[in-house]
Amino acid sequence: MNFLITGVAGFLGSALARRLVREGHQVRGLDDLSTGDPERVPPEVLFTRGDVNDRPKLWTLLQDVDCVYHLAARVSVPESVLYPREYNHVNVGGTVTLMEAIRDVGVRRVIFASSGAVYGHQDEQPLREDLLPNPGSPYAVSKLAAEHYVHTIGRQWGVETVALRIFNAYGPHQPLPPAYPPVIANFLYQAVRGGTLVVHGDGMQTRDFVYVDDVVQALVAAATAPGVAYETLNVGSGQATPIRALAQRIVELTGGRAQIIFNPRGSSGVAHMQADLTKARRLLRYEPQFTLEQGLRATLEHDPRLRAVASPAAASV
């Protein structure tokens, strides 16, 4: 098949590209490199630097494409609070521009990478797709709005669309920005250096951490699965992990040199996040292959930033 991946130089986009190339598909990629790294993109990918709001460029890239993976987005919740207009421009406006171009060219299927953040605070867990979304940040609002645009434009023009609500993805090579780094990448980075892991609140808030290979598994399945048009599906591990337990296990895995401190005044976000995978199992035959323990070990083993300085004691824990 011929694929286009927007956001191909990002964490998930590059992992997906590697998988598709390995399976023998033709892959084109688009990324503005505002946060992506071109070194992550496999050499077999026909890479174009550009903006997802550039419709003429999209027309060119979409020729003869069977399926589009739309992963290009701004992804920081705290940053979105400061810059909601930018998040609306990229995450919503860019999605609408892409769907217009897809409509014009006639692509068969679109897979949209949404987020578990759209659920916000809910009184029940695990989170099912039929729960009323309660987005608590401009980032979450932008993802929910983009979901509606993708499905609505898709229905109007006969484009099959699938939205995957991806929970807390992690794994090797995940970017570690100085501001608002993702929790597992940050904890591992601090722990292998014998630093400090800062847990906000009491650490009893839970998150659904899903290893990158499992996310890629769901993305690949969504491209060809029957009966998934206009569906919205959760992609996670199906497990809820308390942040304090995560921190403690990471300290143990990395040799026990790091310290955990609690910041009672820090914002811990929503109390609980756990994906219900019933629908993804039924429609995508999706089944996570990595436990959190296996995913953490794989990240330590395959991320050169961590492996180079990891404590020798970690291997025996």
Helix (H, G, I), strand (E, B) or coil at 124: coil
pLDDT of residue 178: 87
Structure tokens of 73? Answer: 């987005």
pLDDT of residue 85: 98
**Catalytic residue positions, numbered:** 139
Helix (H, G, I), strand (E, B) or coil at 14: helix
Neighbours of 104 (CB within 10 A): 13
pLDDT of residue 316: 39
Helix (H, G, I), strand (E, B) or coil at 90: helix
pLDDT of residue 179: 86
Structure tokens of 185? Answer: 């990448």
pLDDT of residue 308: 58
pTM over 0.85: yes
The answer to whether the CB of 292 falls within 8 A of the CB of 240 is no
The answer to whether the CB of 177 falls within 8 A of the CB of 34 is no
CA 115 centroid distance within chain: 7
d(CA 268, CA 199): 8
The answer to whether the CB of 110 falls within 8 A of the CB of 102 is yes
d(CA 16, CA 13): 5
Render each residue's pLDDT in the chain as its tens digit; 317 residues.
999 999 999 999 999 999 999 999 999 999 999 999 999 999 999 999 999 999 999 999 999 999 999 999 999 999 999 999 999 999 999 999 999 999 999 999 999 999 999 999 999 999 999 999 999 999 999 999 999 999 999 999 999 999 999 999 999 999 999 888 999 999 999 999 999 999 999 999 999 999 999 999 999 999 999 999 999 999 999 999 999 999 999 999 999 999 999 998 877 789 999 999 999 999 999 999 999 999 999 999 999 988 756 544 444 33
Count CA atoms within 13 Å of residue 32 on its CB side.
Answer: 13
Structure tokens of 135? Answer: 């987005």
